[in-house]
Chain A
């Protein structure tokens, strides 16, 4: 267990998510992996945190670290949670790996008062150029998979995701993109710029 006064640093996109979470709230991290974000939120924001994770190894490392994490299939198990059970439901790099991203987002908004969604931006200029010149599905440092083994089965762009939030009548309370230098900028009304230069985006959503 690490020292609460000196929490280990986490990935910059996880830090952006953590910055959107109010201290002392109830949080569900959907697809929580090895629990880095949950542990960070517990240590630094004293949240009442829970997680769902499908991989045995991920769940074992979470529970072994004292985190409350359930092994399960997000697309089936979210249905079991009651309405408004959490202050925040986090989908960190998760929606693009779902069979039914819209359904998962709907469930997320049902069980959480707010949602924090982070995703890779397929509209990022390097990916567009990669596809234009190579004629192959883009690969990058953040997206190291081949088309046949990638867990990311439903890629979207920042613009695509903003459109979905409109279809679902969700309000975007805060939106950020991460550029290749790793610095974060507000998306706000500059969706075009974010869609070209953002490698990743983070949205704080409300019903």
Chain B
């Protein structure tokens, strides 16, 4: 594990270099959408010429009935399978996606796009505002989870797919899954929201606010104009990531991994060096994150999550959102997830039951916290796979995806 000291102030941000306008060097595809009709946003404005970067795996069958859309989380991207173009590491969902895996790329046509407002190739804060010819930066409209999903719908239309076999995702990805099921119930056969909630809790808004304040307190944030000034708020973004990363784990997982073990030393130093392994680990998480993520995007995307409240549009009654939905749901939560605790998944399930929806719900026993959905959790994988298998049978999909 690296010592993870603070970055040098002048160090460049690799993500920005790779995705600078005109410097399209990413693997995968990118498509320009909303070229004729602008995409209406919840905040009241509209965006024209929306680019979405995406990747696909597997083959779309002749009936176009075997497509699975994966929605990524806050700091995720469309590199579900690696190697990641900037970090060189594995993709974020290799445990679940691939040939013979739960989401079997030999059987399904798997799609994942970088969200609208993301910083990995889709239209976002580092894109050019066509009206001014300048970077959007902080002037980018505040997008919502609903906006992300409407942009994804344009992509699915572009791919000629009328009904997705499944929409799946964890955390913020799960919020998008719920939005898909509510906004486009006839275009989703099955929905799998994992470790998520139908609205962001006060506690989660509070954690996000800590992260945002850390970024904005960094003098290199330059009131959001760091790109124009040739700077980057490494320290603020790293602190935001460190605080957030704690919420993705659990006390049991931290204790199991690190306990009170010291980092490369036999005694404490009576100073503020990373004496403990857990400190060193967090510093590493922070410093490696700033290499691949944009600070302003972090502000905007966390805000989109804070604004998420699916029942709000339905007089605060979530069950109305799901009334007579034809979508088959699998909701999953993890026992040690304190960021999106089980009772929040249960609220979704109760609302679905009230709408007499077809729903399965399982709380998976795990001590790995919120991040369990990314990790090797055999029970989770078994349930997930069985659900997809059952749905495939109901949908009339064969083993080979035809």
Contact = CB atoms under 8 A, between A and B. Distances in A.
Interface of A: 1, 48, 50, 56, 59-60, 62-72, 77, 80-82, 85-86
B393 A66 contact: yes
Contact of A68 (B350, B354, B358): B358
A77 B351 CA distance: 11
Contact of A85 (B356, B359, B387, B390): B356
Given A64-B382, A80-B350, A81-B353, A72 B361 contact: yes
B382 A60 contact: yes
B361 A56 contact: no
Given A56-B365, A60-B379, A66 B389 contact: yes
B344 interface: no
Interface string B373-389: 00000010011011101
B363 A63 contact: no
A48 B328 CA distance: 12
B358 A60 contact: no
A82 B358 CA distance: 13
A55 to B, nearest CB: 11
24 contacts: A1-B389, A48-B358, A50-B359, A59-B362, A60-B382, A60-B383, A62-B360, A63-B330, A65-B390, A66-B390, A66-B393, A66-B394, A67-B390, A69-B360, A70-B349, A70-B360, A70-B361, A72-B346, A72-B349, A80-B350, A80-B353, A80-B354, A85-B356, A86-B356
A1 B391 CA distance: 12
- The size class of the interface chain B forms with chain A is 20 to 34
A69 B328 CA distance: 11
A68 B360 contact: yes
Nearest to B332: A63
Given A50-B359, A63-B383, 20 more contacts: A50-B358, A56-B362, A56-B363, A60-B362, A63-B362, A63-B386, A64-B386, A65-B390, A66-B390, A66-B394, A68-B359, A70-B361, A71-B361, A71-B362, A72-B349, A80-B350, A80-B354, A81-B356, A85-B356, A86-B356
A188 B32 CA distance: 71
A65 B389 CA distance: 8
Contacts of B328: 68
Interface of B: 328, 330, 346, 349-350, 353-356, 358-363, 365, 379, 382-383, 385-387, 389-391, 393-394
B362 A77 contact: no
Nearest to A70: B361
A66 B391 contact: yes
A1 B392 CA distance: 12
B323 to A, nearest CB: 10
B365 to A, nearest CB: 6
A81 B354 contact: yes
Nearest to A84: B356
Contact of A71 (B363, B386, B390): B363
B363 to A, nearest CB: 6
B350 A77 contact: yes
A169 B358 CA distance: 31
Contacts of A48: 358
Contacts of B358: 48, 50, 68
> Which of B330, B346, B362 has most chain A Cβ within 10 Å?
B362
